[in-house]
Amino acid sequence: MTIPPRVLTVAGSDSGGGAGIQADLKTMLALGVHGMSVVTAVTAQNSLGVQGAWELPAEAVRAQFRSVVDDIGVQAVKTGMLSSAALVTAVAELLAPLDVPVVVDPVGVSKHGDPLLAADAADAVRTRLLPLATVATPNLDEVRQITGVLVDGEPAMREAAAAVLTCGPRWVLIKGGHLSGDAVDLLTDGSTEHWLRAPRHDNRHTHGTGCTLASALASFLARGLDVPEAADAAKEYVTGAIAAGFPLGGGIGPVDHAWRQR
């Protein structure tokens, strides 16, 4: 019997099913790995926005992590919504001894503009979490939140990447989806650059894009791809998911994690 690679998401729950741990687990299933979860927060969330959020105690996060890692083991970890400095610190302490790829998605705001990271947590992300990352995957709003760098075009993405790399991740993937034109991301370790380009699809239903990309990246790393290969494969997967995004409720619908199966 073949056991699939095991990937752990440490993130918040999205009751609407489009982002957070729900998006992570759907992505992992679609990409042939066994997904597991450590829930850090529960949100009341739908296509219109986030109506409420409740952070779990650090001891609950530690207990979930130890249950999974000590018994089942992991071959890659993805982090998402860590809303407070206490949670960021607790998760960093748990990740530090692991010798597996870690993808850090420094979630700061939801697709609808709702804040998901407390002001005091940004410093903990910079100093405690990013130094443990194999790849950090900030979008442009998160780059500004973490580094203060404002990206208004492709040339500024290099400055943004350099600023994030000073925080310690081995690689950074700057997501340029908020810019106009093609959907362009920059992957770099400070010495080599990989520009990932895809046509921009005329589809407003893009909820969960960032979670999906980071989870896909972690899944491909767990399957043995190197970072540039994993980023290329993750970009291709999320581009297809965006193209197939569908309407739900009265607001922004999710990307389609099962687009390949459909």
Catalytic-labelled residue, pool 209, 212, 235, 253 = 209
Catalytic-labelled residue, pool 35, 80, 210, 245 = 210
Catalytic-labelled residue, pool 206, 212, 245, 253 = 206
* Residues 42/51, Cβ–Cβ less than 8 Å: no
- 206 counts as catalytic: yes
- 147 counts as catalytic: no
* Residues 154/176, Cβ–Cβ less than 8 Å: yes
Catalytic-labelled residue, pool 18, 27, 167, 211 = 211
What order do you get walking across the sheet with 6-14 strand by strand?
A: 49-55, 34-46, 6-14, 76-79, 102-104, 135-136, 171-175, 183-188, 193-198
- 209 counts as catalytic: yes
Catalytic-labelled residue, pool 78, 111, 175, 235 = 175
Catalytic-labelled residue, pool 17, 108, 208, 253 = 208
Instruction: State the catalytic residues.
Output: 175, 206, 208-211
